[in-house]
Amino acid sequence: MKDQNQPNLFLEQVISAIRAVVGTGSAPLHEPHFGGNEWLYLKECLDSTFVSSVGKFVDRFEADLVDFTGAKYAVAVVNGTAALHIALLLAGVKNGDEVLIPALTFVATANAVKYCGATPHFVDSDKGHFGLDAKKLRDYLNSHTEQKLGLCINKSTGKVIRVIVPMHVFGHPADLEGLLAVASDFNIALVEDAAESLGSYYQDQHTGTFGLMGALSFNGNKTITTGGGGAILTNDETIARRAKHLTTTAKLAHPWEFRHDEVAYNYRMPNINAALGCAQLEQLQSMLDVKRELFHRYEASFIGLDGVQLVAEPAACRSNYWLQTLLLDDGYAHYRDELLKSTNATGLMTRPVWRLMHELEQFKDCPRMDLMGAESLEKRLINIPSSANLAS
């Protein structure tokens, strides 16, 4: 018979390990860090009266993103979902297509696919880096698809599988080398959902720059924030021009007339948000450094604790450690909900990973492969307090 005190002891040990790092007060999951020129740039923006889609900070923010990520082009938009929506459209996603995405992702990934009139096709996750399982996907595509006229066709539905969207979970890079090979071999475009991975690198190259495009997010809980905002990264000049045109209502340049040459989107990032982003980017490297320091402090605190491990960056990668994450051992998975209750009750904000996409009512009938890896991870992942402010 199991020791009935064991669960309580385990919960106490985990809470103590977190407390050893964050102290005795309340600790949010993630909060923005404002320690630079935010007030100065926002005041400049207000004084100039350029607070909407026109102003110098939008152009500067895009240029600063290019400098940091190494992408040739960046197009700033209102949020990460908008960035992914436009990226999928420009990758050729059409009404009735299918798009391969992780079942283990934030709902925005699936929503962006639906905005295009396409269907999410859910793929399993690797238990090591939490991104798409490239080997399992290759085996699945070999048995469930066929090639016709250079297109990948789902044999069950007859629909074109147009794009694959790896998502870099909690800032940890997915297996981009493996996934790029799958995309090439099966004639599928690759668009990265890099919403969580600004400052993360796969083999010394920034995430979001491997595929045809990458989508970033600057929501209030991300490593840097513009309040609400996102960006499309690409190395293709034609795509960059199209992205900017589509996200600015397809307005043709003219000194005063309003001419629009197609149905498009009012997705341009406002200047006031970009002003905040410019100040945040100036501090990004220092925030990445302190978030890495926070990881090492948690790592030391959790050494020797049975039943749980702190998630570290994958091999040959450098993660931004956006959200520090615990992975419960299989035999401890049933403690997850009690651990979530106990930590939040004591002022430590923790959360589970997202509900898997195929478990949501709106996506329950979408095609999917076997999802054993994602289903196991869903039961065992817990995010713990991760703000850069905690490392000070």
Give per-residue pLDDT as tens, 79-109.
Answer: 999 999 999 999 999 999 999 999 999 999 9
Give the mean model confidence (pLDDT) for residues 197-226: 97
Give the pLDDT confidence of 115-141 residue by residue, as tens digits.
999 999 999 999 999 999 999 999 999
Q: Are 251 and 259 in contact (CB under 8 A)?
A: yes
- The Cα 301–Cα 365 span in angstroms is 43
Q: 6 pLDDT exceeds 90?
A: no
Domain boundary assignment for the chain: 6-33+284-391, 38-282
The pTM is what? 0.96
Give the pLDDT confidence of 7-34 residue by residue, as tens digits.
689 999 999 999 999 999 999 999 999 9
Task: Give the pLDDT band (50/70/90) at residue 392.
Answer: low
Share of the chain above pLDDT 90, in %: 96
Q: Are 247 and 264 in contact (CB under 8 A)?
A: yes
Give the pLDDT confidence of 310-338 residue by residue, as tens digits.
999 999 999 999 999 999 999 999 999 99
Q: What does DSSP say about strands 189-193 and 161-164: parallel, antiparallel, or unpaired?
A: parallel
**Average pLDDT of the chain, as a whole number:** 96
Amino acid present at 121: H
The pLDDT, as a whole number, for residue 248 is 96
- The Cα 103–Cα 120 span in angstroms is 9
Give the mean model confidence (pLDDT) for residues 194-205: 98
CATH tag for 6-33+284-391 (out of 3.90.1150.10, 2.10.10.90, 3.30.930.10, 3.30.160.270): 3.90.1150.10
Specify the CATH architecture of the domain 38-282. 3-Layer(aba) Sandwich (3.40)
Q: Are 15 and 346 in contact (CB under 8 A)?
A: yes
